[in-house]
Amino acid sequence: MNKVHADSIGADHTERLILDGTKIDWHLERVRAWDRGERIAPITIDMALTRACNYACSFCYAMLQENDREVITTDVMYRFLDDCAEIGVRGISLVSDGESTLSPAFQPSLKRGHELGLSMASGTNAFVFNQRKLEEALPYLTYLRVNFSAGTRDRYAEIMGVKPEWYDRVCQNIRDMVEIKRRNNLDVTIGMQMVLMPQDADQILPFARLGKELRPDYAVIKHCSDNEEGSLGVNYAGYSRLHDLLKEAEALSDDEYKVVVKWSKIEAEGTRSYQRCYGAPFLLQISGSGLVAPCGMLFNERYKKFHIGNIVEQGFKEIWESDRYWQVMNYLASPKFNAQKMCGALCLQHKVNEYLDAHKKGQIELIEPAGPSPMHIDFV
């Protein structure tokens, strides 16, 4: 058997910032525990504090994730974060299906999570930030990624469903983030993220150039996810003709600013090489409604059979310890499930799934990675 290391499926560990790969092989202790059939805590939980959002992006996957709403209060988050720290969760990314900065629980959660030793991160449109809020939030964050799916003012408004002047405010907020980070010598990584629809290719270079001007640490360009039915109408074949433009955007990188294209997912054209989903116990998702489900693609009521619990109603530790949790996770790993047929395209767990599936098929040996650990290791 020709054994290959995980690096061959997208991760490049010579780069400390891995944006197009997985860091799961830096958690082999947990992978081995999973192999033995132990109940492992998620390494990373991707969640939102609300389902609400003040934007209306044309490609918004959250439109497909509707489920019964409950309010995640600060008290709910405190209890949740305490549980996470206790069972061994490492990182919480406030991304998922809502704009978490709109929640009153946002800042208190960052602080509490940080104090508990959890790595905290956020993906945001960054509109409601101001200098004071950034000063408060940035010291508690491992990364802050700004969703910014255009490079010009008018197209920003069009693609992201907001007023053109919001572009100016967010640009200023990014400048402020960079300045606060520099002034206070903070560890936080600041990023910009473009979710690219093939028809918005005119914005690739303006976006990369804007990033170069605003000076975040990186600007990443990624594919758009779609559901099983293709409700958002993403034309995955359309990405291939953008190759040269994307390469040109990457060439704008310099020593302190990196343009990264998530090639591995773009080139996958929405397909999966695996059928079992092994990644969810390592990388769990929670809706802004408090719903705990293995994956964001299963948030909609349609997938009720996969809905494990709600952190508003029940402690997370109790949910994680429940047979229901493991029954659902086992379903995804069983012959009953086929991710190629029963899931949307290119989910959050995709790279972790690739790694674990290759391991189970004997294509990857669990080898302790060499060299310095990558950044943001708690976000697999």
Partner 1 sequence: MTAEITKIDYEILVADYLRSLTTVLRGFKTGSGYAFLETWVHDDNENRGILGIIEAARDYGLPGISISIGQATLQKLDFPLLREQAAQQGKIFVEHSPLGMDLTTHFFEADSAEKKDHSAQQNKVFKTSAQRERAHYAPPDSVAVDALVDREALYANGLKLLSKRSGHEGSLEAEAPLQHAQHTSAGAVLEVLVDPNHHVIRKVAYHGKISDLQRTLLEGLSTIIENKPLIEACQHGVIYLEFELRDHSAVAPVRGIVTPENAHPMFGFLVQLSQGILADYRRSTGFDSTRNYFDQPVSENWKALDQTEKENRIRAALVQHPAGRGVELVRMESQKRVVVGFLEELGGREKQSRLFQLEDFLKNRLEPTLQIYVEPKVDLNKLRRLKEASAI
Q: Which of residues 255-274 bind partner 1 (CB under 8 A)?
A: 273
In this structure, what token pair is assigned to residue 28? 């082999």
- Kindly state whether residue 208 participates in binding partner 1, applying the rule CB under 8 A: no
Nearest distance in Å: CB 177, partner 1: 13
Q: Write the DSSP string, 200-244.
A: GGGGHHHHHHHHHHH--SEEEEE-----TT-TT---GGGGGGGHH
The correct pick among 14, 255, 335, 370 for binding partner 1 (CB under 8 A) is: 335
Which burial class, exposed, middle or buried, applies to 90 when counting CB atoms under 10 A from its CB (0-12, 13-18, 19+)?
buried
The phi, psi pair for 253, rounded to 5°, reads: -60, 150
Nearest distance in Å: CB 10, partner 1: 15
Nearest distance in Å: CB 130, partner 1: 6
- Kindly state whether residue 136 participates in binding partner 1, applying the rule CB under 8 A: yes
DSSP 8-class letter at 370: P
- Kindly state whether residue 207 participates in binding partner 1, applying the rule CB under 8 A: no
- Kindly state whether residue 310 participates in binding partner 1, applying the rule CB under 8 A: yes
- Kindly state whether residue 26 participates in binding partner 1, applying the rule CB under 8 A: no
The correct pick among 18, 31, 48, 53 for binding partner 1 (CB under 8 A) is: 53
Q: Write the DSSP string, 242-297.
A: GHHHHHHHHTT-BTTBEEEE-HHHHHHTT--S-SS---TTTEEEE-TTSEEES-GG
Nearest distance in Å: CB 179, partner 1: 10
- Kindly state whether residue 8 participates in binding partner 1, applying the rule CB under 8 A: no
The correct pick among 5, 12, 79, 116 for binding partner 1 (CB under 8 A) is: 116
The answer to whether 125 touches 99, Cβ cutoff 8 Å, is yes
In this structure, what token pair is assigned to residue 235? 């034309």
- Residue 36: strand, helix, or coil: coil
- Kindly state whether residue 198 participates in binding partner 1, applying the rule CB under 8 A: no
Stretch that binds partner 1, among 12-20, 33-41, 204-212, 261-269 (CB under 8 A): 33-41
Crossing angle, helix 164-184 and helix 204-214, to 10 degrees?
40
- Kindly state whether residue 22 participates in binding partner 1, applying the rule CB under 8 A: no
The phi, psi pair for 170, rounded to 5°, reads: -65, -40
Stretch that binds partner 1, among 149-157, 247-255, 294-302, 365-373 (CB under 8 A): 294-302
- Kindly state whether residue 114 participates in binding partner 1, applying the rule CB under 8 A: yes
Stretch that binds partner 1, among 48-56, 149-157, 254-262, 365-373 (CB under 8 A): 48-56
Nearest distance in Å: CB 220, partner 1: 22
Which burial class, exposed, middle or buried, applies to 252 when counting CB atoms under 10 A from its CB (0-12, 13-18, 19+)?
middle
The correct pick among 21, 123, 191, 309 for binding partner 1 (CB under 8 A) is: 309
How many CB atoms are located within 10 Å of the residue 247 CB?
12
Nearest distance in Å: CB 174, partner 1: 15
- Near partner 1 in 146-175, by CB under 8 A: 161, 166, 169
Stretch that binds partner 1, among 147-155, 209-217, 260-268, 308-316 (CB under 8 A): 308-316
The correct pick among 71, 201, 205, 375 for binding partner 1 (CB under 8 A) is: 71
- Near partner 1 in 227-246, by CB under 8 A: 230-233
Nearest distance in Å: CB 260, partner 1: 25
- Kindly state whether residue 379 participates in binding partner 1, applying the rule CB under 8 A: no
DSSP 8-class letter at 111: H
**β 291-293/283-286 pair status:** antiparallel
> For partner 1, which is the closer residue by CB, 130 or 254?
130
The greatest distance separating any two alpha carbons of the chain, rounded to the nearest whole angstrom, comes to 58
The answer to whether 65 touches 298, Cβ cutoff 8 Å, is no
> For partner 1, which is the closer residue by CB, 168 or 213?
168
Closest residue by Cα to residue 49 from 120, 154, 140: 120
> For partner 1, which is the closer residue by CB, 53 or 284?
53
**β 283-286/44-47 pair status:** parallel
Nearest distance in Å: CB 140, partner 1: 7
> For partner 1, which is the closer residue by CB, 104 or 206?
104
